[in-house]
Amino acid sequence: MWVHWVSDNLSDDEDVERERRALAVRCNMLARRYTQRAYNALRVQYNNAFRVLLELPRYCSTSEMFTTRRVDSFKAIIRKRCAFMLRRLRTSSNGILSALADRWDSAILRHWIRLHSD
């Protein structure tokens, strides 16, 4: 059963926030169970959600959809988040984290490059 909450002033902001938090929880759960299959399923769902929100046909071009609207694709968002995390690790006050992230032969760096390079 699907429920949509509307406040006394006819705003659904609280309901949208509730759904946003629920999505964050589900995405975090997927990230912990990361597999290529889960990653691809999340990417497809991200693309489909944009199509629905923009009232576009189901099989329209994703590259055109994101480019014409100047919105990052799923892969672009993931690459940016990984770059941001790597920068945070490298500038961390924790010497172990920054040393691991600065090593080019680091397993962490190799893993990120393999996952997010095209």
Domain total for the chain? Answer: 1
Q: Mind listing the pLDDT tens digit for each residue in 83-98?
A: 887 788 778 888 877 7
CA distance 9 to 5: 12
Extract the tokens encoding 56. 């576009």
**Per the domain annotation, does 92 fall within a domain?**
yes
* Structural domain includes residue 47: no
* Residue 22 belongs to some domain of the structure: no
pTM over 0.85: no
**Averaged in consecutive runs of 10 residues, what is the pLDDT profile of the chain (118 residues)?**
66 79 74 75 88 86 88 86 80 79 72 66
116 in a domain, yes or no? yes
Q: Are 86 and 112 in contact (CB under 8 A)?
A: yes
Q: Are 31 and 24 in contact (CB under 8 A)?
A: no
The reply to whether 56 falls in a domain is no
For residue 80, the enclosing domain spans: 72-118
